[in-house]
Amino acid sequence: MTISPAVPAPVRAGTATHCPYCALQCGMNVTAGAAAGAAGAAGAVGAAGIAGDTGEAGTLGETAGPAVTITPRHDVPANAGGLCQKGWTAGELLGRDRRLTTPLVDGRPATWDEALDTVAARIRAVRAEHGPDGVAVFGGGGLTNEKAYQLGKFARVVLRTSQIDYNGRFCMSSAAAAANRAFGMDRGLPFPITDLAGADAILVAGGNMAETMPPFVRHLTAMRERGGRLVVIDPRATATARRADLHLQPVPGTDLALAMGLLHIVIAEGRVDEAYVAARTTGFERVSASAAAWWPERVERITGVPVARMRQAAAILGDARRAMVLTGRGAEQHAKGTDTVSAFINLALALGLPGREGSGYGCVTGQGNGQGGREHGQKADQLPGYRRIDDPAARAHVAAVWGVDPGELPGPGRSAYELLDALGTAAGPRALLLFGSNPVISAPDAGRVAERLASLDLLVVSDFVLSETAAMADVVLPSTQWAEEDGTMTNLEGRVLLRRRAVAPPPGVRGDLEILRGLAARLRGPEGFPAEPREVFDELRRASAGGIADYSGITYERIAAETGVFWPCPDTGHPGTPRPFLDRFATPDGRARFTPVEHRPPEEDVDDDHPLYLTTGRVLAHYQSGAQTRRIAALNEAAPELFVELHPDLAERLEVEPGGRVRVVGRRGTAEAVARISPAIRPDTVFMPFHWAGANLLTNPALDPVSRMPEFKVCAVRLERAA
């Protein structure tokens, strides 16, 4: 492995860009070549009362590699001058001494020509023996729109494979599926994030924004300072739940029953907005009939949430003039996640919230480009513009832009986990090209995923660090990262943003667009695969035209001038659509659809051998698989290792001391972690963060039948004291 300790050469000072992490896409200024100084990145407590959410400048000094000053932008509404600890330290990624700068072939340094020639030759060999679907592509929710678009095009036009999906399937696919069937459109927040501050009540189901995206909380704080009330549903008393006026703490995997119970109360207490339901929705009668069976006392027995607290939550929402229902991964990452989100959407529709200014339903997207990443072709069943790949009209439109016959485009492929699980099998792909993901850490039943990756004839990984997955690869391609390239991202509001190049990459590093161009030239010819992001975006605009996610009226110039443009935006004279449902929903008749659903237990319940529920999530200092954040000293100091959180009563019963080593034993694997004892967790539940190897050795890959989302949020385990 060749690494570069060198400081990247500065390109321009004070470049306005966006954070490399979550879907809030906080605005920041990156100044390269500044004098090294004391790190202002460890995180003071800011106006929202959250570590790292401040408006003060931070300069990354000697330990960070390059001298890069990061300051927050005040012109981006999502963060409005705030950054979290991860954002402050993001510059440290740009010149770390663990940075990959030379391609690796079978573990040894190689030239770019050798690496790309090797990949092309081995792909040809696999295709000759196993056909086009013998080669698969796996993308990431952190890739720019341009990369996501080009990756999908490369898979379908060059490789002719149907086997492409991305790690965003693990993020908010259940919310997307539920929103599509209710509203005809999936956009995380179908309203600007600043609308939150004007609400009178907000219900957050399974979200912990105080740790996952701290600057988000300033909007909730502004709402509460106006007299609004916050209700949080979570099995843990998280940093977000502790800020709530009311915390409902259900048994993991019972959110759907709780949502049905809340709807039952809303109906029984006469809180349904009957005029709205009659004018703007269909299907309420069937949902009302199914909700009748979920009386509060029954729901209390299933969820553990007291009836009085359910009634209080229903009253807070029902009495509010403007209210919002938000879901996060806690409600969505289940084998019934789509139905769970549909149950919360049904609640919002009964209260008359979606499509009203200042009210609504939204999903708090997780990954930086989780929204745009699925809109333009990384998902197994979608083409650019949020078009279905099995729609003949969609295929004809996109094929015309790509200059191919529609019949040449493959059909739908396997979803993310199904794709990973099929790797190396007799009927599955024998080669995988992976961009922007680390499934050895992030996938459920991660031990099996590692076995499948190891069985491949060819694994190619494009990354800027040697992640756990890259370390397994036959070929590693060192790529540029966030501040070293231009491109667009679409944040949780559906606002398309411009991420600008602030520093030059180290010598020997190439962008993913350049990598795809090089492979396309070797496998098909370079036509149609430019490496210039603006050129790719202009083609994306044409491919998305007329689709649900229509970007055709969005240009780099407009994004820069307007600090982002909301899709759909069908022409350059269109103002963009910050609130798409005010007049009608994106369904054929313009009405939102109620969806009947029923609660069912988790796919894996507790028993005598595994008597505890395990739930997983994030902590403030780290992001996703930790491939980036675990390389930053300040973040490692804040959260140095894997832990398991357990209730004091459980700890006493097991004779576990704080800081003691504990084995967490599940039906698929075992993980060892440090014990963290806290009354924040239920006595029947333990919590582990998924940023380190361990938690996802245990999680259940059971899939939602609609979204194909794995059941990350609940499985059965037991605890044992470790030596």
pLDDT of residue 681: 97
CB 374 within 8 A of CB 381: no
Residues 6 or more apart in contact with residue 73 via CB below 8 angstroms: 16, 26, 27, 28, 29, 79, 81
For 344, the token pair is 């919360």
β-pairing verdict for 360-363 and 382-383: unpaired
pLDDT of residue 96: 62
**DSSP per position, 699-718:** SEEEE-TTT--EETT-EEEE
For 135, the token pair is 């080669």
For residue range 200-214, what is the model confidence (pLDDT) as tens digits? 999 999 999 999 999
Residue ranges matching CATH 3.40.228.10 in the chain: 174-363
Homologous superfamily, domain 174-363: Dimethylsulfoxide Reductase, domain 2 (3.40.228.10)
Residue ranges matching CATH 2.40.40.20 in the chain: 612-721
pLDDT of residue 32: 84
- Positive or negative, the CA dihedral 176, 177, 178, 183 is positive
Helix (H, G, I), strand (E, B) or coil at 646: strand
pLDDT of residue 154: 97
Alpha-carbon distance of 580 to 568, in angstroms, equals: 8
Residues 6 or more apart in contact with residue 136 via CB below 8 angstroms: 161, 163, 164, 413, 419, 423, 428, 429, 431, 432, 433
- Give the residue carrying structure tokens 């004018």: 279
Distances (CA, A) of 635 to 43, 51, 414, 619, 659: 10, 12, 36, 11, 19
pLDDT of residue 33: 72
State the architecture of 104-170+372-566 in CATH terms. Answer: 3-Layer(aba) Sandwich (3.40)
For residue range 248-303, what is the model confidence (pLDDT) as tens digits? 999 999 999 999 999 999 999 999 999 999 999 999 999 999 999 999 999 999 99
Pinpoint the alpha helices (H) of 433-579: 439-442, 446-454, 512-523, 533-544, 556-562
pLDDT of residue 60: 36
- Give the residue carrying structure tokens 């398991």: 644
Q: Which of 10, 13, 83 is nearest to 48 (CA)?
A: 83
For 428, the token pair is 């599955």
pLDDT of residue 62: 35
% of the chain with per-residue pLDDT over 90: 89
pLDDT of residue 46: 31
Residues 6 or more apart in contact with residue 637 via CB below 8 angstroms: none
Q: Which amino acid is at 19?
A: C
**DSSP per position, 619-632:** -TT--TTSTTGGG-
Alpha-carbon distance of 330 to 247, in angstroms, equals: 14
Class level of CATH domain 612-721? mainly beta
Distances (CA, A) of 676 to 182, 247, 647, 650: 41, 22, 9, 11
Distances (CA, A) of 426 to 122, 413, 429, 610: 18, 16, 8, 34
CB 13 within 8 A of CB 19: no
Alpha-carbon distance of 653 to 524, in angstroms, equals: 64
Distances (CA, A) of 347 to 340, 543, 595, 597: 11, 36, 11, 12
Residue ranges matching CATH 3.40.50.740 in the chain: 104-170+372-566
β-pairing verdict for 685-689 and 670-677: unpaired
**pLDDT-flagged residues of the chain (< 70):** 1-13, 34-66, 96, 526
Alpha-carbon distance of 442 to 166, in angstroms, equals: 12
Q: Which amino acid is at 237?
A: A
For 438, the token pair is 């680390």
